[in-house]
Amino acid sequence: MTAPLVPVAHGSRDPRSAATVRGLVERVREQAPGAGVYESFLDLSEPRVTDVLRRLYEQGHRSAVVVPLLLGSAFHARVDLPALVAEVQADCPGFDVRVSDVLGVDPVLEEVALDRLAGAGLGGPGSGLVVSAVGSSNTGANAAVADLAARWEARLGIPVTEAFASAAQPDVPAAVERLRARGVERIAVASWFLAPGLLPDRVAALAREADRGVYLAAPLGTEPRVAAAVLRRYEAAHRHVPA
């Protein structure tokens, strides 16, 4: 039996976030017809990943692959999710649950995020870009976003800086100040978020305070290339699941 695919998102009090995750998972199903694909969440939204895994075990599955729908490898990926999987495996003898790599800073996802900026008019004199992300206490996760901003600056030929919605600096106002100091007059904000929600809204509000004409790009969302990335993570982890 092929191991079910269980995409797991963080979860949010904002219903738009869970709706977007469900839409993305539907795109995954479309790209993998006949496969068992079951959305889940770590917290704040239903169904919880532990409930989904236990239900699969009760249905007779003896393996599953969990794919974290996370754009950084920080506390949720390194601590929360492994603890929840271990809890399920302790209660479900013989259940082999593999956890794939996070989506992370994938080149294909970078292209999706850049495509979201198509209407921003970047490239002209005086333009600059803020790459907005969630932020973390994990310095490696924040550094990955800073590296992303540096690559985009080299590629686009304009000033680019990162900004974090929480837990890290620079925040949006500080990022805008950085760009202003470099002569930027027209600012666009790229979204390194999977779905709309409270943190992307915070980024948007702060950006508008700094520049009423700011261009705000949409999150990655349900784009088919994001779904394909989810399947690639699944396939890489599934190769190690015993037959």
- Strands (DSSP E) contained in 2-46 are 5-9, 40-41
Structural tokens at position 114 = 């850049």
List of domains in the chain: 5-104+222-238 (3.40.50.1400), 117-216 (3.40.50.1400)
**What is the pLDDT tens value at each position of the chain, 243 positions in all?**
489 999 999 999 999 999 999 999 999 999 999 899 999 999 999 999 999 999 999 999 999 999 999 999 988 899 999 999 999 999 999 999 999 999 999 999 999 999 999 999 998 889 999 999 999 999 999 999 999 999 999 999 999 999 999 989 999 999 999 999 999 999 999 999 999 999 999 999 999 999 889 999 999 999 999 999 999 999 999 987 765
Question: Which of 160, 86, 92 shows the shortest CA–CA distance to 130?
Answer: 160
Structural tokens at position 145 = 């976003």
Dist. CA 98–CA 205, nearest whole Å: 39
